[in-house]
A and B are shown apart, each in its own frame.
Chain A
Amino acid sequence: DAKTTQPNSMESNEEEPVHLPCNHSTISGTDYIHWYRQLPSQGPEYVIHGLTSNVNNRMASLAIAEDRKSSTLILHRATLRDAAVYYCIRAKETSGSRLTFGEGTQLTVNP
């Protein structure tokens, strides 16, 4: 099962860091961890992905636990435009590029 577990919702204040957790305790060695987000009335937007090492890009950082059973998406300074549903997805090598979306975490950013 490619299931991940995320909190239903989180709140943050503008310009503060946000740490969005994800559990994927049954992850296998070749599964990548992808994060996407979906702003209201838009399609999913790729944020970041990784396998074992921590990853950084212009949008966010991804911290992956040493045992790979959990990961954290870090938004360094939240803005109002970061309010969205964030999806943590375990991308199985056997599934090719097929992504299984869960419920995600609804992030609210307070001004």
Chain B
Amino acid sequence: EPEVTQTPSHQVTQMGQEVILRCVPISNHLYFYWYRQILGQKVEFLVSFYNNEISEKSEIFDDQFSVERPDGSNFTLKIRSTKLEDSAMYFCASSSRRGSYSPLHFGNGTRLTVT
């Protein structure tokens, strides 16, 4: 069964450094998402992306965050200057269609640790 893959599985970085989290969505999917989960807290929506532009973003997704689909297969989340509070699991997801009837398929996440 096709799946969403994320790399790396664990990323450690120092405060103020830039990080790029990478995702390969399911190949025929057109809608892409990033969610995050701070340890012990809920899964939170960050951003959705379609047709090479952001469809929707949450209040968490400020100017420090950006997303890109640099080629036909990868989808990336960049954090420009990491803060301690950015430490979390970051999950990429994709779906074949947009809408409340369309299920999301999630990757197993990248654990980001900011020291």
List the interface of chain A (C-beta within 8 A of B): 30-32, 34, 36, 38, 41-46, 49, 51, 87, 91-93, 95-103
Query: Once the chains bind, are B45 and A99 in contact (CB under 8 Å)?
Result: yes
Return the contact of B99 from the options A36, A44, A96 (Cβ within 8 A).
Answer: A96
Query: Once the chains bind, are A44 and B43 in contact (CB under 8 Å)?
Result: yes
Q: B114 contacts the other chain (Cβ, under 8 Å)? A: no
With A43-B91, A45-B106 as contacts: A93 and B42 at CB distance below 8 Å: no
In the assembled complex, the Cα of A103 lies from the Cα of B45 at a distance in Å of 14
Q: B80 contacts the other chain (Cβ, under 8 Å)? A: no
Query: Once the chains bind, are B91 and A92 in contact (CB under 8 Å)?
Result: no
In the assembled complex, the Cα of A80 lies from the Cα of B103 at a distance in Å of 25
Query: Once the chains bind, are B91 and A98 in contact (CB under 8 Å)?
Result: no
Q: What's the least CB distance linking B109 to chain A, in Å? A: 5
List the interface of chain B (C-beta within 8 A of A): 4, 31, 33, 35, 42-45, 48, 55-56, 89, 91, 93, 95, 98-109
Residues of chain B within 8 A of A38, CB atoms compared = 43
In the assembled complex, the Cα of A43 lies from the Cα of B106 at a distance in Å of 6
User: A interface, by DSSP: helix, strand, loop or mixed?
Assistant: loop
Return the contact of B91 from the options A44, A49, A51, A87 (Cβ within 8 A).
Answer: A44
Query: Once the chains bind, are B43 and A101 in contact (CB under 8 Å)?
Result: yes
Query: Once the chains bind, are B45 and A100 in contact (CB under 8 Å)?
Result: yes
Query: Once the chains bind, are B108 and A93 in contact (CB under 8 Å)?
Result: no
In the assembled complex, the Cα of A95 lies from the Cα of B45 at a distance in Å of 11
Residues of chain A within 8 A of B91, CB atoms compared = 43-44
Return the contact of A97 from the options B33, B89, B108 (Cβ within 8 A).
Answer: B33
With A38-B43, A101-B42, A101-B43 as contacts: A93 and B99 at CB distance below 8 Å: yes
Query: Once the chains bind, are B100 and A31 in contact (CB under 8 Å)?
Result: yes
Residues of chain B within 8 A of A45, CB atoms compared = 106
Q: What's the least CB distance linking A50 to chain B, in Å? A: 9
Return the contact of A44 from the options B48, B56, B102, B106 (Cβ within 8 A).
Answer: B106
Query: Once the chains bind, are B98 and A96 in contact (CB under 8 Å)?
Result: yes
Residues of chain B within 8 A of A99, CB atoms compared = 35, 43, 45, 104
Residues of chain B within 8 A of A44, CB atoms compared = 35, 43, 91, 93, 104, 106
